[in-house]
Amino acid sequence: MKKKMVPIQVPPNLMEMLDNWESCPDENVGWCLLCDGPIRSAQDLIQNSNTHNCPEGLRLELCGKRPGR
Ligand SMILES: [Zn+2]
């Protein structure tokens, strides 16, 4: 069993998202690249993960454990 790195998907409009993050007036601890929205606190994350608790994040968590790509 080899340890595999989790592939990070970089969205094509990453720069745009970072721009949005920078200009976001709300308090946040991070930016969700899945729904392009602010992660306001640790409570905004899915338990035991670093994934934003949003529909896209939940979907990623559900199918993110798949082997291969
Ligand atoms: Zn999100």
| pLDDT tens figures, 2-28 | 677 767 778 899 999 999 999 999 999
**Looking at the 3D structure of the chain, how many domains does it have?**
1
**Residue 1 belongs to some domain of the structure:** no
Query: What is the Å distance from ligand 1's center to 28 Cα?
Result: 12
- Paired residues of 38 in beta bridges: 31
**Residue 59 belongs to some domain of the structure:** yes
At 42 the three-state DSSP class reads: helix
Alpha carbon dihedral 15, 20, 26, 30, in 10-degree steps, equals -20
Query: What is the Å distance from ligand 1's center to 36 Cα?
Result: 6
Among candidate residues 22, 21, 39, the one with its CA nearest the CA of residue 30: 39
With a pLDDT cut of 90, the percent of the chain lying above it is 62
**Residue 35 belongs to some domain of the structure:** yes
pLDDT tens digits along 24-49: 999 999 999 999 999 999 999 999 88
Query: What is the Å distance from ligand 1's center to 2 Cα?
Result: 30
Q: State the DSSP code for 51.
A: S
**Residue 3 belongs to some domain of the structure:** no
**Residue 30 belongs to some domain of the structure:** yes
Query: What is the Å distance from ligand 1's center to 23 Cα?
Result: 17
**Residue 2 belongs to some domain of the structure:** no
In this structure, are residues 69 and 7 in contact, taking their beta carbons and an 8 Å threshold?
Answer: yes
What is the domain extent for residue 33?
14-63
**Residue 68 belongs to some domain of the structure:** no
**Residue 33 belongs to some domain of the structure:** yes
